[in-house]
Amino acid sequence: MEFALVAPLFFLLIFAIIEGSALFYARNTIGLAAADASRAGSIDSFAADADVGIVKSLADAEDRVFGAKIDRIIIFRAEEDGAIPSAGCRSGVSDSTCAVYEPANFDSPSCSGWCPSNRQPDDLLGVWVETTYEGLSGMNPFNVTWSEQRFSLVEPEL
């Protein structure tokens, strides 16, 4: 009788710990991938396919985590460390300060907006990643969404 009363709470606690750990892992993995992508973008910023490398490295990170999906990647010119993309960029529209990539074009991204050809040495390149965590079990009653952002100075072309 006691087991019948305690078991549901016990299993709820166990599965909550597993889901929480998976969420923590997903946030850390996507955050580290954003930092790596930002650094790679600053080094290769003048290459015509610089954004392809950034997008593909983040898409690869998404493949390493379960239950999380990247909703949007924004590569933008930041005015200062900690800046956020413009409202237009966050709504999915590329402009002269950002390039927006959606999941449909992660496999073959093409740049419009703030592309490698428009970047200058010492521009502050920002990578903004919007992610949703849907859960491991499929029984998650709510989704957790967050954004990660990382910055690196565009290095001069050698």
pLDDT digits (tens, 9 = 90+) for 101-156: 999 988 888 888 898 888 888 899 999 999 999 888 777 777 899 999 999 999 88
Domain boundaries, the chain: 2-153
pTM summary value: 0.88
Q: Which pLDDT belongs to residue 3? A: 86
pLDDT tens digit string along 46-100? 888 889 989 999 999 999 988 899 999 999 999 998 899 999 999 999 999 999 9
Q: Which pLDDT belongs to residue 82? A: 87
Does 158 score more than 80 pLDDT?
A: no
Q: What DSSP line would sit under 9-39, residue for residue?
A: HHHHHHHHHHHHHHHHHHHHHHHHHHHHHHH
Q: Which amino acid is at 15?
A: F
